[in-house]
Amino acid sequence: MAGSEQRVELKFRIFDGTDIGHSTYASSTTVAALKDRLVSQWPQG
């Protein structure tokens, strides 16, 4: 599979048991990009 990028499946569980950020990400995804996505999905309150 020349040219295909390896992907990683991640999900994060917050204190109340809710999963956020569940998706597959390119292995080249930066920590900053993951943080931005998680912050945007974090429940308000």
The Cα 6–Cα 28 span in angstroms is: 8
Identify the band that residue 2 occupies on the pLDDT scale cut at 50, 70 and 90.
low
Which pLDDT value is given to residue 44?
A: 84
Instruction: Tell me the sheet residues that pair with 13.
Output: 19
Higher-confidence residue: 2 or 39? 39
Question: Per-residue pLDDT for 31 more than 80?
Answer: yes
Instruction: Tell me the sheet residues that pair with 34.
Output: none
Which pLDDT value is given to residue 45?
A: 74
The helix (run of H) or strand (run of E) holding residue 13 is: strand 7-13
pTM over 0.85: no
Nearest to 25 by CA among 3, 4, 5: 5
